[in-house]
Amino acid sequence: MNRRKFIKNTALTGAGITLGNSLMGCTDKTSKEPEGTLPSKDKPKTTLPLVIATWHVKEATAKAMEVLQAGGNVLDAVEQGCNIEEADEKGQSVGKGGLPDRDGNVTLDACIMDKHGNCGSVVYLQNITHAVSVARKVMEDTPHVMLAGKGAKKFAVSKGFEPEDLLTDASKKAWEEWKIGAKYKPIINIENHDTIAMLAIDKNGDLSGACTTSGLAYKIGGRVGDSPIIGAGLFVDNEIGAAAATGLGEEVVKSVGSFLIVELMRQGKSPQEACEEAIGRIVDKPKKNYEDFQVGYIAVNKKGETGSYSIHQRFSVTKFQNGINEQIQSGFYNKS
Ligand code: SD4
């Protein structure tokens, strides 16, 4: 048995005393209940499929659910869900209309990961709205994982993506106003609508995830955040679960947040516990500077249980499950 499987199995055995069959996966209907556990019919249902995403993005989760309900592929679901936000010019932190870097260039980061552990990513992509779809093409049509800048754009154009100006009048105006003071300070929550990271699980329990952003507003030209970094902004392991991040990417990269959450779930933590511990790793540092920035995580495990947690209040997630597409306020660390 390899080490990965060993840890997973150990975690399952340890937790099995209290959680019984529920940890054995959503498709296991044959094994007997240990004594003292609730009969299956009385347990809370974690029905599939489900979609969860960062921030208030009901149209995006609705699109992903529509794909899943139609029997579509879970990878198509997260891609098409994210595409909705990328095309929405009103969203100033994703795709078209994203806020530019300090030189006025809109540069996009995105990644996608499937149930087989395949992944694709683009960084510093310019003039192409659907960065997440380019990331998917990198995954499916190249031997690489990540393409950057000019090469990423050239590749996108070769795949039929139309170049366009992503700097809308509203974002240009915001940048011009910013230039007056030109202070670099991460904004804690942008109107409850920011980088979109989406995780989905289909009715068979298969997972995929995607993440797409224009990154931090007014960043230094060339800066890349966590969102296209596999393991930081997104991680999917079809045996265990998936996690994704939003917020100050530098802090997510330093703690490899999404991979950490999936590994914590592998060791037996619930998605909620794993998100809280990953935030704990960021805030619990000798130099306590977390008051200046936000990080938020979402996670889902193989059973369809979800979790979310952030440093500061007002991080919300959108979850679509059991026919209900709802915005949920996340728990948060900083109560002061
Ligand atoms: C980044 N994580 O580029 C992204 C930005 C973001 O909410 O998520 N903002 O660092």
Provide the 10 A C-beta neighbour count for residue 13.
11
C-alpha distances in angstroms, 282 versus 86, 285, 308, 310? 29, 7, 15, 10
- Looking up residue 115, the CATH number of its domain turns out to be 3.60.20.30
Nearest ligand 1 atom to the CA of 189 is 7
Question: Does the C-beta of 247 come closer than 6 Å to ligand 1?
Answer: yes
Provide the pLDDT for residue 171: 95
> What residues are designated binding site for substrate?
223-226, 246-249
Ligand 1 centroid to Cα of residue 142, in Å, is: 26
Provide the pLDDT for residue 25: 31
Total tally of structural domains belonging to the chain: 1
Question: Does the C-beta of 228 come closer than 6 Å to ligand 1?
Answer: no
Provide the pLDDT for residue 64: 98
Q: Which amino acid is at 30?
A: T
pLDDT above 60: residue 63? yes
Q: Residues 243, 233, 141, 68: what is their CA dihedral angle, to the nearest 10 degrees?
A: 40
Q: How far is the C-alpha of 130 from the C-alpha of 115, rounded, in Å?
A: 21
* CA proximity to 270, closest of 32, 46, 38: 46
Provide the pLDDT for residue 325: 98
Per-residue pLDDT reduced to its tens digit, 146-177: 999 999 999 999 999 999 999 999 999 999 99
Pocket test for ligand 1, best of 101, 216, 254 (most atoms within 8 A of CB): 216
142 is catalytic: no
- Looking up tokens 């499950």 gives 321
Pocket test for ligand 1, best of 94, 195, 198, 330 (most atoms within 8 A of CB): 195
Choose the weakest-confidence range: 179-193, 240-254, 288-302: 179-193
Question: Does the C-beta of 216 come closer than 6 Å to ligand 1?
Answer: yes
Question: Does the C-beta of 225 come closer than 6 Å to ligand 1?
Answer: yes
Report yes or no: 43 and 19 within 8 Å, Cβ to Cβ.
no
Domain interval for residue 325 = 3-332
Provide the pLDDT for residue 289: 87
Structure tokens at 38: 């609730």
Q: Which amino acid is at 224?
A: V
Nearest residue (by CA) to ligand 1, atom 7, is 247
Structure tokens at 49: 């499929």
Return the top range by mean pLDDT from 40-44, 93-97, 103-107, 185-189.
Answer: 103-107
Beta strands per DSSP E along 192-250: 196-201, 207-213, 234-237, 241-247
